[in-house]
Structure formats: C-alpha cells, structure tokens
Amino acid sequence: MNREHLHEIWGGVAAWRRAILLVLLFIPTFFASVYMASVLPYKGAVWHETAIVVVFTFLFAWISMGFWTALVGFLTMVSRYNRFYIPGSKAGPFEKDRALPKTAILIPVCNEDSTRVFAGIAAIYKSLAQTGKLDRFDFFVLSDTSDPDGMIEEEFAWAKVCSMLNASGRIFYRRRKLNIKRKSGNISDFCRRWGKSYTYMVVLDADSIMSGATIVRMVEIMEQQPAVGILQTAPKGVGRESLLARLQQFANNVYGPVFNVGLHFWQLGDAHFWGHNAILRVEPFMKHCALATLPGNPPLGGEILSHDFVEAALMRRGGWAVWLAFDLEGSYEEMPPTLLEELKRDRRWCQGNMQHLKLLFTKGLCPVHRALFLNGAFSYISALLWLIFLTLCTGAAIYQALHRPDYFPPARTLFPDWPIWHPAWSIGLLAFTAIILFLPKGLAILLIILQKGRAKHYGGAGRLFLSVLLEILFSTLLAPVRMLFHSKFVFITLLGQQVGWGGQQRSDRGTPWSDAFRFHLGGTILACIWGGVMFILNRTFFWWLFPILTGLVLSIPLCVISSRTSWGQALKNKGFLIIPEELEPPREITWLQESLAELKKPSQPLAVPQAYGFVRAVVEPVVNALHVKIVRSGRKVALSIAQRRKEIVQKALTQGPASLTRNEKREILADPACLASLHSAVWQLSDPRLAMKWGLGD
C-alpha cells in the first residue's frame, strides 16, 4: 500500500475541516433532538416517543449535512478564497510545446438509443478537433448491447458517424460477447486489452457531452498534478424538455455550484467519482481498482453495481488522490425524462449503495470514503427512516386520540402525569427544519443575484425567484412519492430481491396514464386511507400530514404531467426554469442537435424502419456486409448447433422475422455464414407475401 502520496499538505487541513463538520453536525442535532423531545406530550419518556426522537435525530443530522455543505460552499464562493484549487485555475498554463499523452475516451453503452449516443460522440469529436489536439485522443464505444435490433443500429450509427466525420481509425467500436460485471467489467475489459497504450482515460455515459477544451484541460491538469488518480467534473443538466427533467436541470444548474464547492471544501483529495464525465489515470486504475465480487449472495453480495464509489475508494487506498473539479465548465449530462425512469434508475442505485455497507470495514480505506459509503446508503435509508418517523407519529396521534391519559400511574409520583402538547414549539421546530432545508436554495439564488449580470441568464431575477418557488413546490409534492418508492426499494433489497440493469429510456417520451396508474395507485390509496383515518381521529395531526398526503394523492397526475414536454416547453416559453445553456447554447449542444438530425435521416433505400435492426442486417446489403465485417469469421460450431441454426433460418424464411425469438436472432447474427445464407435466400423469395414480411415489397 503506497501511502507516500497521502502526506500532502491538504491532508491535515482536511482532517480539521471534517472535525469541524462533525462538531457542526453533532451540536445542532443534539439540541434539535432535545427540543423534539420537549415538544412531545410525554417528553420522550414512553417507548414510541423515544423511537420518534431517535429517528428524528438521524434525519436531522442527515439534512443538516446538506445545509452545512451549502453554507460553506456559499461562503467560499463569496469570499473567492479557496486554498486548494486543484482544477488548475490557479495552476500555470500548460507548456505549448509539450505533447499531451495519449488518452482514450470511453463510452460504455448497453441497450441505449444509438442515435443519441453517436450524435454525442460526433459533437465531442468536432469539439476536440477544434482544439487541434484530436490526434492525441481515441474514442472507444464499448458495447454490451444484447438486443439484436439495437446491436445493428449501433453498428450502422457508428459507421455513419465515421463516414460523416472521416473518423476511421479514431472512433472504435467493440461489442463484448459476454457481459461480465456489467459496466465496470466493460471498462476493465478495455483496460486489459488496450489500457497500457493510454496514459489516461475519460469515461463518459451514453448521454454525456463534454467540450474538447475541457477534455484537453483535464489532461493538462493530470499532467501537472502527478498525485491525482481521478479528476471528476461536475456535469450540468442540459437538453431536456419534459417538465420533470427541466425542473431537475434547473435545480442542478442553480443549486449545484454551491453544493459542489461545499463538497470540495470537505473532501479535497478524497472526493467522489460518479462514474462518468471524469478522467482517470490508467496505470493506477488497473493496479488498484479491479473490483472483486462481494461475499454473499445478491442483492447485497455478488457483483458490485455502483462501482464508481468503490473505484474511488480503492484509488485512494492505493495512494492516489480523487478531486472534484467543480469549476471546470463544458461538462454536461441529461436528466431522466420522467419520474418512472428516475425511480427505475434509483432502484439500481439503491441496491448498489446498500452493497457498499459491506465495504464499510474494508481494510485500508480512508475514513472519508467509509463515510461516503454510509452517506450513499443513507440517501435511501433516510427515506425509510422518514416513513418510519411518520408512521410512529401517526401511531402516537392515534394513541393520543383513542387512549385516555393515565394521570396517576401505579408508580408513586409527587405530581400527576400530565402529558402536555406544545403546538407552538412544534411549529418552531418545523420552521427551523424548513430553514435547514430551504436556506441553501436561498443562498444559491443570492449568489446568482450578487454576481452582476448573471441573473439574466436565468430569465431575470424575478423569473429566477418564481422558478425556484415552482421547483420547491414540485419537489415538495414529489418528495413523499420518492420516499415511498425508496423505502420500498430498501425494503425489498433487504429482503433479497435483486435488480437487473436494463437500458434506460433517455428520450423525452411521456409516461402514459396506464403506467402512472399501475405504479402510483397503491400510494394514492394508502394516502387516502391514511388521511381519512387521521381526519376522523385526530384532525390537528391531519393538517400536519396534509402536505405529504397531497403529494401522494396527486402522484398519478403529477407523474404524467411532469413527463410531458408540452408543459416543459410552455414554461420555457414563458421564461421559467431557464438555464444559461438554453439562452446561449454551447457549440457542443448545437453540434449534438445537428448530428442527431443527420443520423435520424432515413438513409436506407428499403422500406425497413430503422428500429428493425435484425431485419436490416438480413435484407440490406450494406448493413449485412458491415455486420459480417464486425463479427469477422464465425467459429466452427458443433453439428447440433449448425443444424439448429439451419432450422432457425428455415423458420425465418417460412414464417418471417417476427417468428424468431431474441435468442434466435442473436444466434443468426453471431454466425456470419448463417446470416449470409439467410440474406441470399430472402432476396430469392418469389412469394410476395413472404417477401413483404422482410420489407421487400414488390
């Protein structure tokens, strides 16, 4: 274990800062818990009130973490003093005649929208070409796509982009035959095959966009800071039109900087790695960051799903720093377009973060990364704690409504046992909690307004303020919905149910009412029963619960409305939820849109829709030849397999492509000889009905 890199000057400063953070968390949380106990009728003396106070303590500590992070971020930005400015804004310029080392840009994909993926790659490529340093970068599209139609779409989109940009020999495409260890395994496979040829690798997601200047700057910083293993940028949300995505990209844009600076303040060289929009030093990554399988069975054991946090911890364990480059612009990503997509992603992240609890006591990890593991798991466990808190409070309210107080308990006391409820104190505690929750947002707006001319990039100070209010309204209404789902995710993960890693829907397709009903009906019914019972038994408590119940009751229409692009665009036209990247789009976003339009143009001469990749591979000569070239020569297979494939081909010829299962299509695509013979036979079909099934309308 090489710790020599750990003895930097920032290590001691970081320890003091984190000690101060612990004190800042502990003291207000202690007083808030004492206050909470005093608010309750029996002052926490009965078991259910004790439980309420304990759960409240955890929740308060959790939300104050965000508060202090934002506050320290705000103070740092206002004072413009940051002693440890790793991104190199204060570092000297890179030497002009010094060559950049070779860097690989990795785009791991799995059942994604290939048009969007390759449009993004085209935009990044063009941006890099503008820097004049394109020759130092190679692009690798690392595919784990299992859908047969998706495979062919990817191949064709790749070939089209290479042709558009004249990028042959610079954008490479590799599809793994076996998906081992998902995304982390995909990247490891690249490292094992080609990693030694590159000094750095920039990892992107399917929806990431980075400007060429930013990528070049990241490489320069890594060269100037030899102790840095991972440099993570803070990507901004862009490019979405649905209401929910616009709310999230607005929040990310407005509040994000304050939180990022605050995170940087506490973490320094022990920062997060978010798995994308970051640059990694290849050699230490290969040496230290290969992920082992966790002991035990899934979901908490087995393959590590959220690999990024673990890789950062392992990189740090190896003695290499992980920094957050919060001020590097030109890094973008797209937000989930709908609530259901966001929850689908959260389901996976919940399991991944819960797995990290098994790593808390791993030897050699830095305390900060242990805390980050706990923090990540707690971001979902807190939802369950909140639900438990509400349940306990509901139980206490029902008990209070139905049970007559026992003023003279059996134990002898000098005074009667008189439960006193202090509603004014409760309101005070609620107000204090609200300040903790919402003051960071206020600080973020204040920062924008204080910076001259910045508010106009958000539509003006007035619209900015109203947009923030709108965002607060929606996030307040959606918070109980998320609470319910996250609680369910934690619960079923603990019960042993695993999650798969299917592709995400990244396009702005709205959620149909049927899906919204299917997913949210349970929560709506629960809220109606819950609210109804409290309205009858304890009306005071009902009004306390009202904001939460409103969100749950309205979850179905909220889910549908927030997924609609019409609502998002209507607000945009009125000047709300505007971000600077919409008023003055960066070149990369413009090129992305242009490349998307170009790739979506139907180029095939036959009447086969672009989405039917398998049929195109069989029928279209160009697509067929491309796929055969990529797959290369097929292996010799056993007689039984060869016979089975012949039967599949016969079935395809006599019954059409719709009769084939996914696995059958994959088998044909994996065998070039089989595919070639099917291509030949389809074109020779004389029965027009059969030919029509393959798009050969005579």
Partner 1 sequence: MSGTTDSTQPPKESGEENAMQGRYSSDQLEAAGRRVLLYLKALHIPVHTRYAIADKALERAEKSCASGGNVVAEAMQSLPELLQEYRRPAGQSAREAPAPDGAHAAKGVPLADIFSKELSYVQDMPILNRGNMVPVELERTGAFTFFFLLFIKLIFFPLRSPLRMYFLFFTFVAFAALYWWRYFNQ
For partner 1, the binding residues (CB under 8 A) are: 138, 159, 162, 168-169, 172, 174, 188, 191-197, 286, 288, 290-294, 358-364, 604-606, 619-622, 624-626, 628-630, 632-634, 646, 649-650, 653-654, 672-673, 675-688, 690-691, 696, 698
| Distance between CA atoms of residues 525 and 530, nearest Å | 8
Name the residue nearer to partner 1 (CB basis): 66 or 302: 302
DSSP three-state, residue 172: strand
Q: What's the CA dihedral at 594, 596, 598, 600 to 10 degrees? A: -150
DSSP three-state, residue 690: helix
- Secondary structure (H, E, C), 226-259: CCEEEEEECCEECCCCCHHHHHHHHHHHHHHHHH
Question: Closest separation between CB of residue 135 and partner 1, Å?
Answer: 14
| Distance between CA atoms of residues 513 and 559, nearest Å | 9
Name the residue nearer to partner 1 (CB basis): 578 or 652: 652
Amino acid at 480: P
DSSP state of 332: E
| Distance between CA atoms of residues 351 and 57, nearest Å | 25
Question: Closest separation between CB of residue 96 and partner 1, Å?
Answer: 28
Name the residue nearer to partner 1 (CB basis): 255 or 373: 373
| Distance between CA atoms of residues 652 and 679, nearest Å | 11
Name the residue nearer to partner 1 (CB basis): 172 or 349: 172
Name the residue nearer to partner 1 (CB basis): 251 or 668: 668
Name the residue nearer to partner 1 (CB basis): 42 or 139: 139
Q: Residues 64, 67, 71, 73: is their CA dihedral positive or negative? A: positive
Question: Closest separation between CB of residue 681 and partner 1, Å?
Answer: 5
Peptide bond into 299 cis (omega under 30): yes
Question: Closest separation between CB of residue 111 and partner 1, Å?
Answer: 22
Question: Measured between alpha carbons, how far is residue 192 from residues 155, 172, 196, 288 in Å?
Answer: 23, 16, 8, 13
Name the residue nearer to partner 1 (CB basis): 227 or 286: 286
Q: In what order do the strands lie in the sheet with 137-143?
A: 171-175, 137-143, 103-109, 200-203, 278-281, 228-233, 321-325
- Is residue 40 within 8 A of residue 53, CB to CB? The reply is yes
List of E strands, 286-328: 321-325
DSSP 138-163: EEEEEE----HHHHHHHHHHHHHHHH
Question: Closest separation between CB of residue 354 and partner 1, Å?
Answer: 16
Name the residue nearer to partner 1 (CB basis): 4 or 698: 698
Question: Closest separation between CB of residue 339 and partner 1, Å?
Answer: 35
What distance, in Å, lies between the first and last C-alpha atoms of the chain?
Answer: 70
Question: Closest separation between CB of residue 679 and partner 1, Å?
Answer: 7
Residue with tokens 């997509």: 341
Name the residue nearer to partner 1 (CB basis): 286 or 596: 286
Name the residue nearer to partner 1 (CB basis): 584 or 698: 698
| Distance between CA atoms of residues 200 and 216, nearest Å | 11
Question: Measured between alpha carbons, how far is residue 636 from residues 120, 148, 201, 436, 641 in Å?
Answer: 38, 21, 36, 66, 10
DSSP three-state, residue 631: helix
| Distance between CA atoms of residues 318 and 330, nearest Å | 30
Question: Closest separation between CB of residue 70 and partner 1, Å?
Answer: 29
Name the residue nearer to partner 1 (CB basis): 78 or 360: 360
Question: Closest separation between CB of residue 656 and partner 1, Å?
Answer: 12
As to burial, measured by CB atoms within 10 angstroms (0-12 exposed, 13-18 middle, 19+ buried), residue 90 is exposed
Closest CA to 631 of 662, 664, 672, 673: 672
Element (H, E) at 460: none
Question: Closest separation between CB of residue 181 and partner 1, Å?
Answer: 9
Closest CA to 305 of 376, 203, 375: 376
Question: Closest separation between CB of residue 616 and partner 1, Å?
Answer: 10
Name the residue nearer to partner 1 (CB basis): 15 or 570: 15
Question: Closest separation between CB of residue 126 and partner 1, Å?
Answer: 19
Question: Closest separation between CB of residue 632 and partner 1, Å?
Answer: 7
Q: Residues 238, 240, 584, 119: is their CA dihedral positive or negative? A: positive
Name the residue nearer to partner 1 (CB basis): 270 or 581: 270
- Is residue 549 within 8 A of residue 478, CB to CB? The reply is no
Name the residue nearer to partner 1 (CB basis): 283 or 594: 283
- Is residue 631 within 8 A of residue 155, CB to CB? The reply is no
Question: Closest separation between CB of residue 193 and partner 1, Å?
Answer: 5
